[in-house]
Structure 1
Amino acid sequence: MGPAPYLVSRFNGSATYLDGKITLPVTIGRDRAAQNVMAEFLVMDVPSVYNVIMGRPMIHQIQGVVSLYHQMMIYVSDENHSERIQGSQEVVRKCNYLKPSKVRRDDKDDEEKEKKQDRSTKKQKDLSASAHGTPT
């Protein structure tokens, strides 16, 4: 991974520094419909429902045409055939309900453990006080 010393605007309008950039082999489609390219990705450590966001340079490289309305991308395969990738509304709905990143999930787990521990400590005090006949 190489350095990428510049700010990127996030979806919420704030800016963040990149962790770096990396060039990786990408295969779009399968079998005869495959298009193999080397694509550059910017790396950020932020909670997101996306694994990858394809930018204009990659879409241009695969000669892609994107239709948001149809949730589809048409591209040219390695064998020079027009191929398409169709989106799925069902998958989009599932993405909207994904949990946040592992770091944030661990924080929530710690908070839940603390709340549970506080409740059990309070129960023990209540039981101890009632055993001695003292009101709580």
Structure 2
Amino acid sequence: MIELLGEVMLPLSLGPLPKRSTNMVKFLVVKAPSAYNIILGRPSLNLFRAIASTLHMKLKFPTYVGVGDELMARKCYANTLKRSREKLDGKTPNVKGKRVMIDIEHEA
């Protein structure tokens, strides 16, 4: 069970300059340990018109000056997992809280 703390609209930028794209994205804030800082769902990826390839560990999206390419995704992911393991000391924490059902696929 994951406890929902709220939601927040924040500007999200993908890619380095000059191939950077920025949009306002709604994030759900939860209280739970995770290897990720954020999780982008289909609505956010669609907002950026992004194409994700898990096989290639790449995310491509159109910008005003060409196609953006997140080359650092693999290094960031590995680094985040490493830091997460160090904090948790290799143990899976117990996540307690109320169960909340949220429809995140439909945005107004």
Q: TM-score scaled to structure 2, two decimals?
A: 0.69
Determine the structure 1 residue equivalent to 2:96: none
Determine which structure has greater relative contact order: mean sequence separation of CA pairs < 8 Å that are 6+ residues apart, divided by chain length. Answer: 2
Runs of 4+ in 1 over 6 A off after TM superposition: none
Runs of 5+ consecutive residues of structure 2 not aligned to the other structure = 89-108
Conserved? CA contact 2:19–2:65, under 8 Å = no
**Aligned to 1:36, which of 12, 17, 22?**
22
**Aligned to 1:69, which of 47, 55, 61?**
55
Runs of 5+ consecutive residues of structure 1 not aligned to the other structure = 1-14, 101-136
Give, in whole Å, the separation in 2 of the partners of 1:80 and 1:27: 15
Q: Which has the larger radius of gyration?
A: 1
Any idea what SS the aligned residue of 2:2 has? strand
Conserved? CA contact 2:7–2:27, under 8 Å = yes
Higher normalized helix content (fraction of residues): 1
Number of residues paired by the alignment?
Answer: 84
Give, in whole Å, the separation in 2 of the partners of 1:33 and 1:42: 27
Higher normalized strand content (fraction of residues): 2
Determine the structure 2 residue equivalent to 1:52: 38
Identity of aligned pairs, percent?
A: 24
| Paired letter, 1:18 | L
Any idea what SS the aligned residue of 1:57 has? helix
Q: TM-score scaled to structure 1, two decimals?
A: 0.56
Give 1:80 shift. 5.3
1:20-55 Cα deviation digits (max 9, x unpaired) = 111001111122201010000000011112111111
